[in-house]
């Protein structure tokens, strides 16, 4: 068992301060947390090479949730580069979800993989560079920054698409933008008559929860269109008091707060850990929505499980949690073809064309309805 670390320093509860002081190296970690973490056993050279290849950013707030400088610690594993990221497998892809496949990418800041929805990538900036991120190629990369002309062109294109019903702000992290710029984009979208919903995908309530101010929550709730906030909690330790306060602040204004986790080896693939995560989200007024099978991101094979492992997790959760706490287990088809649901195979072909069903309690039953 890991020894309890020294208490973290008292940092200001200011999102801009945490964003500006994010650690970008182990030296920054030592400076921010003198004496808290024992770094002596780490492969510092390997970590530095991984950071040089994929970048590193971790807010002081988020790092303070780690109990040890150890890849077995969930926060450390998700925030700090690992030398294993230098191992790239043949099947891994720089754009595993097909954001930039030409048929899905009409403009530089837009991805459209479904007829009724589009992604608007408003910034490549994040407060934390998650080690499993499926957009590692662009996060923190200035080449993906969107200037005013490109953003205006993207919004103009969206306005002209009569079939769109929802626009999802993503990146990077849209909440790294200041209120004025973020709300200018949302309010322009809010005026488009064909749209019926807006969504913002952000990890800020998890890694920099001070970003969710009363003023921001009020402004988001004041839009004409219903807005959902997609957050990204992967482990119960991330659902801290500050994070739960941020999500409850959004929920109190009538905003839907939806969680999209990623199935990660050694982090949340244990049923007991995942069950605790789902209950913690419920207490924080967050609805579990999706559990994504980890994408084929370069250098992330040590974090990916097998699909069978995902099946086993969903099998263990079913029947031990209320149904409304169970997320969809999803796989994003490589090449930009969209997401498909995965689930434990509860139903099989039975005798005489009927069904053979496994119940949550482990018993098996014949159901006399033909599959055809």
- Integer CA distances (angstroms), 193 to 55, 107, 301, 302, 352, in order: 40, 21, 44, 46, 53
Domain membership of residue 6 (yes or no) is no
The one catalytic residue in 84, 114, 179, 190 is 114
How would you list the strands of the sheet with 197-201, edge to edge?
Answer: 110-114, 117-123, 166-171, 197-201, 227-231, 256-263, 287-293, 328-332, 339-342
Chain segment 184-196, per-residue pLDDT in tens: 999 999 999 999 9
Statement to judge: residues 164 and 306 lie in one domain: yes
The one catalytic residue in 117, 253, 275, 285 is 117
Statement to judge: residues 258 and 301 lie in one domain: yes
Q: Answer yes or no: 116 catalytic.
A: no
Q: What CATH number is associated with residue 235?
A: 3.20.20.70
Statement to judge: residues 257 and 354 lie in one domain: no
Token reading at 273: 């850990």
DSSP 82: -
Nearest to 118 by CA among 104, 135, 102, 101: 104
Domain membership of residue 91 (yes or no) is no
Q: Answer yes or no: 133 catalytic.
A: yes
Domain membership of residue 42 (yes or no) is yes
The one catalytic residue in 113, 211, 248, 304 is 113
Q: Answer yes or no: 113 catalytic.
A: yes
Residue 357, domain extent: 348-372
Q: Answer yes or no: 199 catalytic.
A: no
Statement to judge: residues 106 and 173 lie in one domain: yes
Token reading at 32: 């921010």
Sign of the four-CA dihedral 151, 153, 158, 159: positive
Which residues pair with residue 199 across a beta bridge? 168, 228
pLDDT given for residue 196 in this prediction: 98
The one catalytic residue in 36, 82, 133, 144 is 133
Residue 260, SS3 per DSSP? strand
Statement to judge: residues 237 and 192 lie in one domain: yes
Statement to judge: residues 37 and 154 lie in one domain: no
pLDDT given for residue 370 in this prediction: 58
pLDDT given for residue 81 in this prediction: 98
Statement to judge: residues 35 and 113 lie in one domain: no
Residue in this structure with the two tokens 């971790």, named with its chain if needed: 58
Sorted by sequence, the CB contacts under 8 Å of residue 30 that are 6+ apart come out as 37, 39
Statement to judge: residues 64 and 124 lie in one domain: no
Statement to judge: residues 22 and 57 lie in one domain: yes
Q: Answer yes or no: 191 catalytic.
A: no
pLDDT given for residue 353 in this prediction: 73
Looking at the 3D structure of the chain, how many domains does it have? 3
Statement to judge: residues 209 and 352 lie in one domain: no
Statement to judge: residues 172 and 195 lie in one domain: yes
Sorted by sequence, the CB contacts under 8 Å of residue 183 that are 6+ apart come out as 219
Residue 211, SS3 per DSSP? helix
Q: Answer yes or no: 295 catalytic.
A: yes
Identify the segments of the chain with pLDDT beneath 70: 1-7, 369-372
Chain segment 272-324, per-residue pLDDT in tens: 999 999 999 999 999 999 999 999 999 999 999 999 999 999 999 999 999 99
> Quick count: other Cβ atoms within 10 Å of Cβ 368?
10
pLDDT given for residue 325 in this prediction: 98
**Residue 60 CB-density burial (10 A; 0-12 exposed, 13-18 middle, 19+ buried):** buried
What are the phi and psi torsion angles at 199 (to 5°)?
A: -145, 145
- Integer CA distances (angstroms), 22 to 79, 127, 243, in order: 11, 7, 17
Classify the phi-psi angles of 336: left when phi > 0, otherwise alpha if psi is within -120 to 50, otherwise beta. left
Chain segment 55-64, per-residue pLDDT in tens: 999 999 999 9
Tell me which H or E stretch contains 357: strand 355-358
Statement to judge: residues 107 and 77 lie in one domain: no
DSSP alpha helices (H): ranges in 74-164?
74-79, 148-159
Q: Answer yes or no: 287 catalytic.
A: no
CB 118 within 8 A of CB 111: yes
Q: Answer yes or no: 126 catalytic.
A: yes
Domain membership of residue 1 (yes or no) is no
pLDDT given for residue 3 in this prediction: 57
Q: Answer yes or no: 329 catalytic.
A: no
pLDDT given for residue 8 in this prediction: 75
DSSP alpha helices (H): ranges in the chain?
15-20, 26-32, 44-54, 60-63, 74-79, 148-159, 179-190, 204-207, 214-221, 241-252, 271-283, 307-317
Domain membership of residue 372 (yes or no) is yes
Domain membership of residue 95 (yes or no) is no
Domain membership of residue 150 (yes or no) is yes
Domain membership of residue 343 (yes or no) is no
**For residues 316 and 302, what is the distance between their CA atoms, to the nearest angstrom?**
23
Q: Answer yes or no: 73 catalytic.
A: no
**For residues 302 and 311, what is the distance between their CA atoms, to the nearest angstrom?**
19
**For residues 311 and 342, what is the distance between their CA atoms, to the nearest angstrom?**
8
Chain segment 19-40, per-residue pLDDT in tens: 999 999 999 999 999 999 999 9
DSSP alpha helices (H): ranges in 91-231?
148-159, 179-190, 204-207, 214-221
């Amino acid at each position: 068992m890991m020894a309890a670390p020294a208490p973290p320093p008292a940092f200001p509860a200011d999102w801009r301060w945490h964003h500006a002081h994010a650690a970008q190296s182990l030296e920054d970690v030592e400076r921010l947390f003198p004496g808290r973490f024992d770094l002596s056993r780490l492969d510092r050279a390997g970590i530095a090479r991984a950071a040089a290849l994929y970048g590193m950013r971790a807010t002081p707030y988020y790092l303070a949730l780690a109990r040890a400088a150890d890849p077995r610690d969930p926060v450390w594993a998700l925030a700090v580069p690992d030398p294993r990221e230098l191992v790239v497998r043949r099947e891994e892809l720089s754009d595993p979800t097909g954001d930039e496949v030409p048929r899905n990418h009409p403009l530089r800041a837009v991805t459209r993989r479904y007829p009724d929805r589009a992604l608007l990538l408003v910034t490549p900036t994040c407060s934390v560079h998650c080690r499993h991120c499926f957009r590692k190629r662009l996060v923190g990369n200035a080449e993906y920054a969107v200037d005013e002309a490109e953003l205006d062109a993207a919004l103009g294109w969206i306005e002209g698409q009569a079939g769109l019903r929802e626009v999802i702000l993503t990146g990077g992290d849209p909440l790294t933008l200041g209120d004025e710029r973020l709300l200018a984009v949302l309010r322009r979208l809010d005026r488009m008559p064909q749209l019926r919903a807006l969504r913002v995908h952000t990890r800020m309530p998890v890694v920099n929860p001070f970003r969710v101010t009363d003023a921001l929550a009020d402004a988001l709730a004041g839009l004409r269109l219903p807005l959902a906030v997609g957050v990204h909690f992967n482990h119960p330790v991330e659902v801290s008091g500050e994070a739960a306060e941020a999500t409850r602040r959004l929920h109190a204004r009538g905003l839907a707060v939806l969680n999209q986790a990623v199935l990660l080896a050694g982090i949340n693939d244990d049923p007991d850990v995942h069950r605790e995560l789902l209950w913690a989200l419920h207490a924080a007024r967050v609805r579990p929505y999706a559990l994504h099978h980890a994408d084929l991101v370069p250098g992330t094979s040590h974090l990916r499980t097998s699909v069978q492992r995902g099946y086993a997790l969903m099998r263990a959760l079913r029947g031990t949690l209320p149904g409304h706490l169970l997320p969809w287990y999803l796989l994003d088809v490589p090449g930009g073809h969209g997401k498909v649901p995965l689930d434990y195979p509860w139903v099989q072909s039975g005798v005489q064309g009927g069904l053979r069903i496994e119940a949550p309690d482990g018993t098996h039953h014949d159901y006399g309805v033909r599959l055809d």
